[in-house]
Chain A
């Protein structure tokens, strides 16, 4: 908003920096404490006056975390489920998103309407019937069952994001290909999808992050430790209470965040344009 005509006064600028600082403190305060706790030994954690910088930093919590709970196994389950769910979601959603972007008719309006409407239903209404259905097919306590649920759960925003990426591809290109005699599917595969590639990657990674982080469905559907995904393994630490296990808990929490944080860093710019594609245009 500032321009040559509206030079910011120093007092205002100072207040702006103060506000920014306040926000950053609020943001970093818990994050810093999590990381600090992850590197402290049990005696230091039990001290009456906790302090920010570990006096004798240790990596013991990380190895203890692996000993206390099957973290690697949980991470493996999470990885399998998140990779399968995100790939299947995007493979199914991309062609449909193309139709939603290019064809205005009752079916595509209905589908888009459903994408928005499905948001107002609480998870409990979907999870009980799914639980009953999956039980019929012996897919309770099964990673296959969880993948199915995640595909459906990821579908609305995947359609929404991909649709906005398709809208950004000029239809002229398809018309040119059609003039050259390419059929519709041919045009899609050789003209539209290559241009969509970055958007498809962003959507896949976002679906991966959502599935990696998901907790509620996993809590309901997975029963035994050998099937549990990482978030479920993490809350098993809380059951074993006491100050002593806080360090490994913090270490495990840090580790569990790294994959989603890494992927998020890769896609953050694209994500905002994709998710807001519909919203900002109003």
Chain B
């Protein structure tokens, strides 16, 4: 590395180290302390005490379970629907394809707060269009309070999560599909392969690396989701949609338990890392066989 290369690199590296790498290491460390909000409160190293407390915290377990249900459902549904849409948008000669492609991007550009507000209007028990629509086609016979029902709130929020994340996933998968050489599909078709066989033998192996990276990223992003659900339900009703990040936010900035919230963040990192390793292992094993 010559000096002029450093000149180019340092303006980006310094803020990364000072405001990202440094604080993150400190953040991980805070999980092992009793740090609290407030100016003159001393912070002491308390080892694993926060984690022992977490183990016995029912709210923590339930928010973690909700977080996993949310992240897995949203990621899987996002992937299945986006793959379907990407395949459709990749079909030659389908009309309205260009229009659909542009429209499909709209949620990506919207602020999460606006998406949350929009769906609150859709889900509104009296003034919302969902109850009205479902009643007019005869599916429902009375108004449902989608975001306040104990059983229905989480599924309702998951639908919003899927809606929000579809553009990125669709665009990524579409780009991957467009990289699949057309001749391969044609050759397979000449050999008498149907659409499903062509997809399985030709397209799927070609897009698989992209599928693995986008589902992995989606899972991480979804597990760490905050804004959307904060606006939709703020974790309610009765904590039924309290994702881990909402729980951590409440602990840190409502109750001032910085150390405890950081410990929760540490657990999330470990869980995500473990899941990633397991997922990647399974993927590479699948490739070898």
Task: Point out residues on A near B: beta carbons under 8 Å.
Answer: 1-3, 5-6, 8, 12-13, 16-17, 19-20, 23-24, 26-31, 33-34, 36-37, 45-52, 91-93, 95-99, 103, 105, 107-108, 111, 114, 118-130, 132-133, 148-149, 151-152, 155, 159, 183-185, 188, 209, 212-213, 215-216, 219-220, 230-231, 234-235, 237-238, 243, 246, 249-250, 253, 256-257, 260-261, 263-265, 268, 272-273, 276, 279-280, 282
Contact = CB atoms under 8 A, between A and B. Distances in A.
B103 A28 contact: yes
B161 interface: no
B85 A1 contact: no
A121 B91 contact: no
Contact of A125 (B4, B93, B121, B269): B269
A231 B113 contact: yes
Contact of A215 (B5, B94, B112): B112
B258 interface: yes
Interface string B238-269: 00000011001100110000100110111011
A77 B144 CA distance: 38
Nearest to A105: B1
B182 A1 contact: yes
20 contacts: A2-B91, A3-B189, A5-B190, A6-B189, A8-B91, A27-B103, A120-B269, A128-B30, A128-B35, A129-B30, A155-B15, A231-B111, A231-B113, A234-B111, A234-B113, A237-B117, A260-B109, A260-B111, A268-B102, A280-B176
Given A119-B220, A235-B113, A257-B109, A148 B272 contact: no
A279 B220 CA distance: 16
B19 to A, nearest CB: 4
Contacts of A149: 19
- Which bracket fits the contact residues of B? 35 or more
Contacts of B155: none
B21 interface: yes
B107 interface: yes
Contacts of A37: 121, 127
Identify the 9 closest CB pairs spanning chains A and B, nearest first.
A96-B12, A264-B109, A129-B23, A125-B27, A213-B111, A95-B8, A125-B265, A215-B227, A231-B113
Given A130-B19, A264-B108, A120 B273 contact: yes
B189 to A, nearest CB: 4
Interface of B: 1, 4-5, 7-9, 11-13, 15-16, 19-24, 26-28, 30, 35, 81, 84-85, 88, 90-96, 100, 102-114, 117-122, 124, 126-129, 132, 163, 171-172, 175-176, 179, 182, 185-186, 189-190, 195, 198, 209-210, 213-214, 217, 220-221, 223-224, 226-227, 230-231, 244-245, 248-249, 252-253, 258, 261-262, 264-266, 268-269, 272-273, 276
A8 B93 contact: yes
Contacts of A95: 7-9, 11-12
The dominant DSSP class at the B interface is: helix
Contacts of A276: 171-172, 175
A257 B13 contact: no
Contact of B9 (A28, A96, A183, A279): A96
Nearest to B170: A23
Given A30-B122, A185-B7, 15 more contacts: A13-B94, A34-B121, A50-B127, A50-B129, A99-B8, A111-B16, A122-B265, A124-B252, A124-B261, A125-B265, A159-B12, A213-B112, A213-B113, A216-B226, A243-B126
A45 B121 CA distance: 10
B23 A126 contact: yes
Nearest to B224: A122
Contacts of B110: 213, 257, 260-261
